[in-house]
Amino acid sequence: MSDGDSGTPFSAHSTDPIDDWSRAVFDACLDWAIAGEGRWFRSDEGWIRLRIDAVRGEPLEPLFAIELDTADHQINLDFGSWCTPISASAGSLRSAAVHSTAVARELIESWLRGEVKLASYSDETGWRGSKIIESGALPAALEPVPASLGERGRAIVKTWRRTDWRAWRHLGDALWIECDVAED
Q: How many CA atoms lie within 13 A of 109 on its CB side?
A: 10
The model carries a pTM of 0.84
Q: In this predicted model, what pLDDT tens digit does every residue of 125-149 receive, in sequence order?
A: 999 999 999 877 999 999 999 889 9
Tell me how far apart the 2 most distant CA atoms of the chain are, in Å.
58
**Helix residue ranges per DSSP H, the chain:** 20-29, 33-36, 93-113
Mean pLDDT for back-to-back runs of 10 residues, the chain (184 residues): 67 94 97 95 96 92 90 91 88 95 95 92 94 88 92 93 93 93 84
Do residues 36 and 65 touch, judged by C-beta distance below 8 A? no
**pLDDT attached to residue 172:** 87
**Nearest to 160, CA basis, from 67, 68, 82, 60:** 60
